[in-house]
Amino acid sequence: QVQLVESGGGSVQAGGSLRLSCAASEDISDTNHMGWFRQAPGKEREGVAAIYIHSGRTYYADSVQGRFTISRDYAKNTLYLEMNVLRPEDTAMYYCAAAASYVDSRILYSQGHYNDWGQGTQVTVS
């Protein structure tokens, strides 16, 4: 089981930026893909961005396309989410997740197949 620890959340004004990190306890090259999800109060958790670890191919939810960037650093075993032009509606708890097995890109945001989850980091945009 991979331990995932998110960091980098905080409070920021609209239009600002944050970079979230997700440190993995094991080699991320052993995973197939990783993703960032978020859950706002009173709402279901939703997929934000995902990346196939080996190809580096990335996918984004329409709501963050062009503003958020997902990336990974093999040397640091860390997943990142660069968030720019933040909006109040981006306020949520952000989670990273890792999956060992391949799934089609159409179901990258289906949460049930992810093997490991972090505890989350809070992002508040005012």
Category of 112 on φ-ψ map: left (φ > 0), alpha (ψ -120 to 50) or beta: alpha
What was the pLDDT predicted at 42? 95
Is the CB of residue 68 less than 8 Å from the CB of residue 3?
Answer: no
**Tens-place pLDDT, residues 66-90:** 999 999 998 999 999 999 999 999 9
Q: Which of 4, 31, 27, 35 is nearest to 120 (CA)?
A: 4
Regions in the chain scoring below 50 on pLDDT: none
What was the pLDDT predicted at 1? 84
β pairing state of 33-39 and 116-117: unpaired
